[in-house]
Structure 1
């Protein structure tokens, strides 16, 4: 009647609703990013909360034990930052001041060491390097000058360093009630499916975030000690950069290796082969031994999907998109597997009812 089709109206309404939700998500992306980091931080501290809860006296409330853990974590991070942060900051300032001299094309040919077997080709190699440095110097110098501006911009967002722990505290405190409230909106069949999805995603995020933290700490300690022993320039700064980039899957460690080799080469470090050999050995140990052990549960995504997710994440959200790509893909996989299992179970139930009839 009157050309009105209910089915078409439902489809149109669904498309409009999805588009509206995507628009709202885009508009509040910064807020959502803070919430995401708060969730990740919650998974980092939650094992300590579980440990405290195990020995918590009955007269002490759960809120007090959670607050105690957060205070302890903040104190530990502050002490570690005061011990190593000053040295890393000094090395970063020193490197930023020496960048113009390091990129000087007139002297770079004499500073970069080459292995003995490449000495006959030294002039060709160094001419190529000099031409590349000369052509890219105009781009490198503005980046060096803008480094301080980037630091100031990050300092202007220090409010997030306060918001993340606060939101994490509230998320841990109210997580059980939020979960029960969300599940209460669903019927029995969907409750069972989504309860399994939430449980699987809980394992996924806990394993993934804690594995990244342990891998980052292992990289910081290993690189810091090895670079200091080998006499690599700016050892703590390069180790700190590598530890931070460890949180970016695949691309982060490669960028850290490139930065360490580039800074060492342009600084005239004479043992690049030893440095390259250590980095290669460490990456083999971490990628094929330590990483599989730490991520043995929860994060089971094929390399093909990881690469596709990294490329898509880079286009959608840059560094943040790359960081979130692996857990997002793993979460979508969990939802797909659980939904498929629920669908198969429903079909089996229907077949049994037909047979019984």
Structure 2
């Protein structure tokens, strides 16, 4: 007999709303990405805001202390950019100008190889030469694609201006926005989502600051080591590695590959020492520094990380890879809190039911009510 199940209809309605939410997020991905970066930037700035609020005079309004922090941060970024931006631009311009020379077919014959690989040099040279020829055929389409990407990014510079503005508003109105959203929920679910929001706050703050420290550590260590080892384009490679550190898993691998490719094609003679340094640094960061910084933040299994990175690459490219780990960790928090909440609710309901039953049936077990 056909019938209408209210409980099933409610679940279907909830699932439809969630699917609609994901669809809207996918359609408005650019706007969502700007908001996400604004949230991340807010977590970077907020510790300084807290410090200023602790030492500010009582007559000084909170908005003024937040504005002071943002002015100082923007000024520091401008000064650092003016000091190191020229050197970075010069090295990047020189590298791109030297690309035709570096990609000549006779370059592979100058590759430094270990002694045990010298008998195979000809085969290795033939393989590398063939790869260079294939890469040369694809160089023009890739360059055109990169150029279009640069033009598109230049057209969206307004987003870079919006990120600090949105961050300022988030820090200023964040507590009110949180309380307003929680007031829309029932008292039963308000406690659940308040705990979820608290956990997400800890997660994102630890994750964003850990990424910042990892990026700075990579920038400083790579910059100092590359300069001491005489690696060509040392500052450019160090800055690239520091920026790529924000992309989990894939970013550090890409930084290592770019460094080795530039060093090899530039005829760098101490390639073995460079490989040893990179290997030792990656071991230190992956097994010492990274676990220490992430110990109170993101705890996701490597399997889920790899699957999330692949899915993020398919859905959103570099942005999807960047957001994969925090999204997986967020889902883990929501599912874990919801499971505990509903398990506790069912247990309390069972206890209440048993207590009510025992008041009616004296022959039953002792009353738990």
Q: TM-score band (shorter)? A: over 0.9
User: CA offset at residue 19 of structure 1?
Assistant: 4.1
Q: Any idea what SS the aligned residue of 2:196 has?
A: helix
CA distance in 1, matches of 2:12, 2:192: 28
Q: Write the mapping of 1:195-206 to structure 2, written as runs, cut at 5 A.
A: 195-206=194-205
Which structure 1 segments of 5+ residues have no match? none
Q: Any idea what SS the aligned residue of 2:282 has?
A: helix
Deviations 1:146-182 (A, max 9, x none): 5455434322222112100000000000000011111
The alignment status of 1:84 with 2:76, answered yes or no, reads no
What is the match of residue 135 of structure 1?
Answer: 134
The alignment status of 1:101 with 2:101, answered yes or no, reads yes
User: CA offset at residue 327 of structure 1?
Assistant: 0.4
What RMSD, in angstroms, separates the aligned Cα atoms of the two structures?
1.9
Higher relative contact order (CA 8 A, sep 6+): 1
Q: Write the mapping of 1:27-106 to structure 2, written as runs, cut at 5 A.
A: 27-105=27-105
CA distance in 2, matches of 1:341, 1:9: 24
Larger radius of gyration: 2
Q: Any idea what SS the aligned residue of 2:59 has?
A: coil
CA distance in 2, matches of 1:214, 1:256: 17
Change (3 A) 1:14 1:193: closer
CA distance in 2, matches of 1:241, 1:317: 21
Deviations 1:9-68 (A, max 9, x none): 656654554443333222211111100000000000001001111111110000000000
What is the match of residue 177 of structure 2?
Answer: 178
User: CA offset at residue 274 of structure 1?
Assistant: 0.5
What is the match of residue 21 of structure 2?
Answer: 21
User: CA offset at residue 270 of structure 1?
Assistant: 0.9
Which structure 2 segments of 5+ residues have no match? 357-369
Deviations 1:117-164 (A, max 9, x none): 322222221121111111221113443465455434322222112100
Deviations 1:260-290 (A, max 9, x none): 0011101111111100000000000011111
Runs of 4 or more, structure 1, over 6 Å off, are none
What is the match of residue 240 of structure 1?
Answer: 239
**Mean CA deviation greater in 7-16 or 53-62:** 7-16
Does the aligned pair in 2 maintain the 1:99–1:144 contact within 8 Å? no
CA distance in 2, matches of 1:296, 1:133: 43
Q: Write the mapping of 1:1-357 to structure 2, written as runs, cut at 5 A.
A: 5=4, 7=6, 13-14=13-14, 16-105=16-105, 107-144=106-143, 147-357=146-356
CA distance in 2, matches of 1:148, 1:316: 22
CA distance in 1, matches of 2:134, 2:288: 41
